[in-house]
Amino acid sequence: MRLFLLCAASFVVFSPLVVRGEATVPQPERWQYDVSGLMLPSSPVYPTVSAYRQVRMELTEGGPDKAELSLTYANEDASAIGALVRRQEYVDAVNHGGTFQQDFERCVGWILIARDRGSDVSLLLARLKNDHLGQQVVLGEAVSQLPEWAFEGLTSTREHVAQMLLEAVGMLEGWESADEYLRMLSSIDAELGSRMTLGGTVVEESETPPAAPLASPEVETDSAEKPTARPTVVDVSINRDDVNVGDKCTVTCEVEAENQTALNYSWSCSDGELSIEGPKATWTAPGEAGRYSIEVTVTDALGGRDSKTLRVRVSGSEVGAEHDSDSVDNPGPGSSAPPEIVGMSATAEHKYLEASMVGYSLLVGRSCEITCEVADAAGVSYEWECTVGEIIGSGDTITWSAPHAVGNETVTVTVTNSRGEQASMTLAFHLTTCSQCF
């Protein structure tokens, strides 16, 4: 049956897509995909095209090949969206944004899997970065022609895939490379670039910009010289013992660095409001009690960076400030370590759940089981929270029922041991209406 569908679809898809230009050189002006009318979602034969895609993906073996095929599909999708907008088929264009996003997510996911399995993905990632610039040019032109009611959906898709690629580049090539790619993205669409972040956090920069890099390719350093140490965030503290809803608190970051004047501070919080003043920030607690996080990332002039997170419990009488760092601090004398969460995972009996770079993709309205694994589960209790939807059950495994709405949502578990020490972990979900994307 699969071979039959593959052959049948081959007769329908007359013109395969062609990419012009070198994949390793980010030149979006050389990105050109032409799709025939038969390949558009509004075409009566598009179900056959969709079946052809699915069969090809199932018959393709190996992470790199699957990633390359997914990228081809994403390029086709972007071009199709542009063609639909030019035809003023706005509803189909916006709906097809979900297909484009899913194909793009699959491409990134397969690249990461291939890297984890030992494959060299540098050329494939270079092609993805190049093609993505072309995709954003086409999608940006499409957005500029959309009516106001259709603007938000496609804009959200553009931002989501761009953010995902920046995170992947940071993981695979380092955050300096991600920052360089962000500048390239901003050069073709300054507004889109301004809404992107690095490191997965909402960044609010201090008034003093980071100093320019001091190193030059033409300068040879003496191998006997002592290398410059990266800055180290020693502590992040809050000036109140009791934090109530709506309170204004001063949060201070203490850093060890060779040059304190050349440091750049980036702050973010899970909720509430931040007012930034370099190594200090004023945090206004949100209007609801709960557990919140404040994160600071410190970067020096040479690109060295460190971060630390302060977790604060907001209530009428309780206090909770716990510190997380990029490295695990050794407990002091007489202290004990908090419970260790090994990981969280999601499973489902249906097919509409799929692992992705951001966590999991799940069809709207569907349910899945989420399990929290703790290193030493003796005497441990579990508290579950979700941004939307419904949590059913208790203990280390619960069922999360997703809402019937598209969006990016999270499920968080807080583990408490017999001594009252706590640890938390969050699992991210992208909810989609694209049932054919699984």
In order along the chain (438 residues), what is the average pLDDT of each group of 10 residues? 49 38 40 68 84 88 87 90 89 87 89 85 90 90 85 84 88 88 89 76 37 36 47 87 87 86 82 85 86 82 78 63 44 59 89 81 89 88 92 92 85 90 89 72
335: left (phi over 0), alpha (psi -120 to 50) or beta: beta
One fold for 204-209+229-325 and 341-437: yes
Report the C-alpha gap between 185 and 385 in whole angstroms: 36
Q: Which CATH class, in words, describes the domain spanning 341-437? A: mainly beta
Task: Report the pLDDT value the prediction gives residue 216, as an integer from 0 to 100.
Answer: 34
Read off the amino acid at residue 381: S
* Closest by CA position to 77, among listed 130, 28, 132: 132
- Widest pairwise Cα distance in the chain: 74
Structural domain boundaries of the chain?
2-194, 204-209+229-325, 341-437
* Closest by CA position to 103, among listed 161, 42, 47: 161
Q: Is 432 exposed, middle or buried (0-12, 13-18, 19+ CB in 10 A)?
A: buried
Report the C-alpha gap between 271 and 252 in whole angstroms: 18
The helix-helix angle for 148-173 and 90-116 (nearest 10°) equals: 10
Task: Report the pLDDT value the prediction gives residue 412, as an integer from 0 to 100.
Answer: 93
Tokens 């194909």 belong to residue = 103
Tokens 């404040």 belong to residue = 294
Eight-state DSSP code of residue 32: -
Report the C-alpha gap between 260 and 253 in whole angstroms: 12
Q: Where are the alpha helices (H) located in 279-352, listed in sequence order?
A: none
Report the C-alpha gap between 259 and 277 in whole angstroms: 18
Beta bridge partners of 412: 385, 426
Name 293's Cβ contacts closer than 8 Å, sequence gap at least 6.
269, 270, 309, 310, 311, 312
Q: 180 — phi, psi (to 5°)?
A: -65, -40
CATH architecture of 204-209+229-325: Sandwich (2.60)
Eight-state DSSP code of residue 330: P
How far, CA to CA in Å, does 111 sit from each of 46, 64, 395?
Answer: 28, 6, 35
Report the C-alpha gap between 269 and 172 in whole angstroms: 26
The helix-helix angle for 122-145 and 175-188 (nearest 10°) equals: 30
